[in-house]
Amino acid sequence: MTNNDDILVYRLGATCDLSDVTEGSIYQGKVQGFANFGMFVQLNDRIKGLVHKSNMRAEHKEKDTVLVKVRGIRPNGNIDLEEVIIQVYQVQNIERKSTIVRVSDLKSRVGKTVAIEGEVAQIKQTSGPTIFTIVDESGTQNVAAFVEAGVRAFPEIELNQIVRVIGEVMMRNNQLQIEADVVTALSGEDTTAVRERIDKALDTRAEPEDIPLLVESDVMERLRPEMRKVAKIIRKAVFVSQPIILRHHADADGICSAVAIEQAVVALIRESGADFDAENYLFKRAPSKAPFYEIEDITRDLDFSLKDHVRFGQKMPLVLLTDNGSTEEDEPSYKIARVYDIPFVVIDHHHPDATIDKYLIAHVNPYHVGGDFGITAGMLGTEVARLINPKVEPAIRHIPAVAGVGDRSEAAERARYLDLVKDQYPEAACKDMALALDYEQFWLRFNDGREIVKDILNINGNTERHTNLVALLVDGANTMIEDQMSACMPHVVARELSSGAKVFLIDVEIHAHKFTFPPPGKTSGEVHDRLCKANPGSPVVTIGFGPDFAVLRSRGVLMNIPRMVRELRVEIPGGGISGGGHLVVGSIKFVEGMREVVLEALIKKIGEAQVQK
pLDDT of residue 274: 62
| pLDDT cut 90: percent of the chain above it | 76
Burial tier of 238 (Cβ tally within 10 Å: 0-12, 13-18, 19+): buried
The span from the CA of 279 to the CA of 195, in Å, is: 25
Per-10-residue mean pLDDT for the chain, 613 residues long?
Answer: 70 81 94 93 89 93 94 92 92 79 91 90 90 91 90 91 91 88 88 93 94 97 98 95 94 97 94 70 89 91 88 87 93 95 96 93 97 96 98 97 95 97 97 97 92 96 96 98 97 94 96 93 94 94 96 93 92 92 88 96 94 81
Instruction: List C-alpha distances in Å: 353 to 358, 393, 563.
Output: 11, 32, 10
Residue (of 404, 359, 358, 360) closest to 381 by Cα position: 404
Helix axis angle, 377-388 to 252-271, nearest 10°: 10
Nearest alpha carbon to residue 473 among 513, 515, 508, 517: 517
d(CA 336, CA 299): 9
Measured CA to CA, the distance from residue 143 to residue 163 in angstroms comes to 12
> Residue 311's pLDDT is what?
74
Please give the pLDDT value at position 271.
85
Is residue 100 a contact partner of residue 17, using CB atoms and an 8 Å limit? no
Residue 231, H or E segment: helix 218-239
pLDDT score recorded for residue 2 = 46
CA distance 96 to 94: 7
Adjacency order of strands within the sheet including 493-496: 493-496, 502-507, 540-545, 549-555, 585-589, 578-581
Determine the Cα–Cα distance for residues 264 and 251; give it in Å rounded to an integer.
20
| Three-state DSSP state, 537 | coil
Distances (CA, A) of 206 to 137, 223, 299: 11, 19, 30
Cβ atoms 244, 284 nearer than 8 A: yes
- Quick one: how far is CA 341 from the chain centroid? 16
pLDDT of residue 193: 93
DSSP letter string, 265-322: HHHHHHHTT--TTHHHHHEEEEEESSSS--HHHHHHHHHHHHHHHHHH-BPPPEEEEE
Average pLDDT, the chain: 92
Tell me, what's the pLDDT at 1? Answer: 43
CA distance 425 to 420: 9
**3-state secondary structure string across 158-218:** CCCCEEEEEEEEEEECCEEEEEEEEEEECCHHHHHHHHHHHHHHHHHHHCCCCCCCCCCCH
pLDDT tens-digit profile of 124-144? 888 999 999 999 999 889 999
**Cis peptide, bond prior to residue 518, ω within 30 of zero:** yes
Strand 318-322 to 244-249 pairing = parallel
Angle in degrees, CA 320, 322, 326, rounded to 5: 95
First to last CA, the chain: 110
Q: For residues 315 and 241, give the distance between their C-alpha atoms in angstroms, rounded to a whole number.
A: 8
Domains within the chain, CATH numbers bracketed: 8-94 (2.40.50.140), 103-205 (2.40.50.140), 208-425 (3.90.1640.30), 492-611 (3.10.310.40)
Residue 46 CA neighbour count, 13 Å, CB half: 19
Phi, psi of 420 (to 5 degrees): -60, -35
Distance CA 321, CA 261 (A): 11
Compute the distance between CA of residue 42 and CA of residue 14 in angstroms, rounded to an integer: 11
The Cα–Cα gap between 204 and 206 comes to 6
